[in-house]
Structure formats: C-alpha cells, structure tokens
A and B are shown apart, each in its own frame.
Chain A
C-alpha cells in the first residue's frame, strides 16, 4: 500500500508517494536519480550503495524507504557538492585510487564518514574505515593512500 514518505535528501526536503517497503537504494536511484548510489551485492556485503542516514553510514540495499521517513539522507552526490567531498574526490583522482570506478562512490562515502569522525586516521584505521567496501580492481593500497592525502590536504577542515 502506497504512503507518502518525507525526508531530507542532500539537504533538501523531499517527499514521495510509493510503497514504503521499496528499498531505499531503488528509490534513490530510480526516483531521485542519485545514480552514484551503486548496487553491487544487494545484501549489505559490498558497500557500493553506501549513504549516510542521519549522519551514519548505512547500506540502503538493506533499508526500506519507510525507515527514512522524517530522517536525513545524504548520498555521494550530496557529499561531493561540499568542500570536504571535493577534497576526497581530488585526492582519489590525484592518488590514482580509481580503476573501473564502480566501488568509488561507496569509498568516497566511507572516506567522508571516517574523516568526519576521525580527522587524523592511522593506516589501520583507514583500512578499518573501508573494510565494508569491496573493490575488485585496485587492491586497496592507492585508495588508502588517497584517503591519507585527503586527510592531510583537508587538515582542520575535517574537525569542523
């Protein structure tokens, strides 16, 4: 049965009348055209679909739309529109972190979530921070290096 679900998406109030049991992932991609939210495994294992729900990183392939009612969702599109997001994207490009690119939106969300909570992570903390994000191309090292680069380039910005 359809319902009207209202939430904040990338800072803007939105609402949609649809089946609240649809996966948040599908609604973000199909109805709100947030195509940076990728579907890899469909079961919470790969992190390609990662978004922030009330500031916490989650996998919307496991979340029904109804769980976002009255809440706040930020996708990679919202993150990359900020100064912090821009620093991560630049660092990923300069650091050679990207091969096929499929995992990268999820990696950017994971990097943003990590650096926002821990502006100065150690290598182990970075690896832990992206441990829920699978990459089949890069072998992770250059992604880890790029997150270090984003941490040092951003400096105090991450403490805001």
Chain B
C-alpha cells in the first residue's frame, strides 16, 4: 500500500502554509478519523490523502476571555473545556458528557464541529449561544455562526485551504435567568446522544419572557433551533397554553428518523419541564439557575414491539 504523507507542523502558520499547498486531511484528536479509516488489528489506518496532525499546536489549544466573549481553541479537548471556569455552562455540560474519560482527553471541539454529525454533543449548546467559528487560511481569517458553518449532515462551509482555529461564545449562562441541558443516552459513559435538549430563558422585570432559546441534537440532519419558534413566547408571560404552542411549533422543526416518537416526546417533555419550572421559580423568586430533569422523567415511549 502506498503510504501517504503525514505532516506534523509546530506552529499554526506552518499548518496554514501546508494546508494552502495541499488538500490535507486535518487530524486533531483523531477520535472520528482513526475510527472511520481503521482497518484491522495491527494495521495502519488507511488514508487516501496526506494527513496533517494539529493536536499539539499551542495557538489553538488555549481558552481565554476577550472582553465578555469566551474563546476556545479548536484543538482544546473535551476535558479542558469541561474543566474551564471560563467556558459557558451549557458547553461545559456537553463536553463533560462526551464519550468517557480517555476519549475526553482526545476529542476536540474543532473536530466535533467539523465532523458535523447531528448527534455531536457540542453543536447544541453552540447553536443555543450564537457561537461563531473562527476560520483561518493563508488568505486571512473569517468568522461564521456555527449554525451556518454546519450546512447539513457531514457537510461544512470550509474551503480546502482553511482550518477552524477557535470557537467564540458571545453569551453564557450569566445572560439568562434559568438554564437547562439534558442528554438522553443509553448509559453514563460512551453514550452517543439519543436526544439532547439545551434551553435558556431570561425574564424582563414585568415577568414577561425577554429571551428564550431551545436547541435539540439527534433530531434531524443537523442540530435544530428556530428563532421563529422561540419568538412565540418572547414578550409574553409563560402560561400552560403558550408552552403547548411552543412545543407544537418545536415539534414542527425537528425531523428525527430513528425512533421518531421517542425523540419527539423527549423534546416535548424537556420544553414543558423547563418552561413550567422556570415560571414557578420566577414567581417564587428562586435564583437557582439550573433546572434539571427529575428522576423517572424520561420514561421511554418508543412504540411497543409486538411479536405477532
């Protein structure tokens, strides 16, 4: 078998130069690429193009604040993100539940976005918080909303000479009164999301909603979020009928394929739970920001299998 080239640049500039000369496969943590290109035990994975390893580039492996915006380097691992107090709560939650411990020391946020899987864990919170990706090439840098950058299943808006260098978060939990994140998985570790809901709400002083957001993963060909759905409740006071209206509208924007009714019902319950509890806490003056699901909340409601 012909061996392809493997570049191991030491600086970001070097990496961008290589990428400008050759359409290399960018490999960060390798946790998607090494699996998708694996052969059998003992054999080297088979890549059809040259590979450039960016895992250890210092410029894209740091987390910092610029004003009120949190910048996460593209090669930061899930553990680094989950453990950083600078990172917004929803993103920390998602990072802390990816794979298991070993995986979280390899999986990067850049890889999770570029992989563009609708089941990926970080896009949900990133859509919710209007996160942007910073993209660099030898031509310069540009920024784009993550929700525009991910075009659809496994398709991203990246030119052959570009690389993701950062993820920028303009918002955090501080911008909301109550927040919610819940991943339904088959077990606590190494569970690919069955469905994950991220939500956040902020109230005006008169008790009406001034901001509400909800995003869902594993419910379609990409992460789902819709300003039109959220606008139904903005400017109004939360009431049961209004919650049902939001739920019905959200149901209309998702298109889960496998186990659709289970996934739809999980979304309905998450939205109902979050908005009901947020309104209750607002009235009580409770400032406890995180709204959890409660035990037994997710009773699977997949269709019953009949043997006959």
Give the interface segment out of B102-110, B176-184, B256-264: B102-110
Q: Are B53 and A66 in contact (CB under 8 A)?
A: yes
A159 contacts which chain B residues (CB < 8 A)?
none
CB distance from A140 to the nearest CB of B (A): 12
Interchain CB contact (< 8 A) of A62 among B3, B41, B106, B188: B106
CA distance A158 to B305 in the complex (A): 51
> In chain A, residues 34-65, which have Cβ atoms closer than 8 Å to a Cβ of chain B?
39, 42-45, 47, 50, 53, 56-59, 61-64
CA distance A71 to B10 in the complex (A): 12
> In chain B, residues 48-67, which have Cβ atoms closer than 8 Å to a Cβ of chain A?
51, 53, 55-56
Q: Are B31 and A44 in contact (CB under 8 A)?
A: yes
Q: Are A62 and B34 in contact (CB under 8 A)?
A: yes
Mostly, the A contact residues are loop
Q: Are A67 and B102 in contact (CB under 8 A)?
A: no
Interface residues of B (CB under 8 A from A): 3-6, 8, 27, 29-31, 34-35, 38, 40-42, 44-45, 47, 51, 53, 55-56, 77, 79, 99-103, 105-106, 188-190
CB distance from A64 to the nearest CB of B (A): 6
A153 within 8 A of B: no
Interface residues of A (CB under 8 A from B): 1-3, 19-23, 26, 30, 39, 42-45, 47, 50, 53, 56-59, 61-64, 66-67, 69-71, 110, 113, 128-129, 131-132
Q: Are B35 and A1 in contact (CB under 8 A)?
A: no
Interchain CB contact (< 8 A) of B102 among A19, A50, A64, A66: A50
Q: Are A43 and B38 in contact (CB under 8 A)?
A: yes
Q: Are B6 and A21 in contact (CB under 8 A)?
A: yes
Q: Are A57 and B105 in contact (CB under 8 A)?
A: yes
Pairs of residues from A and B, 6 with the lowest C-beta to C-beta distance, nearest first: A132-B100, A131-B189, A56-B105, A20-B6, A59-B102, A62-B34
Q: Are B44 and A19 in contact (CB under 8 A)?
A: yes
Q: Are B101 and A132 in contact (CB under 8 A)?
A: yes
Q: Are B101 and A1 in contact (CB under 8 A)?
A: no
CB distance from A16 to the nearest CB of B (A): 14
CA distance A51 to B291 in the complex (A): 37
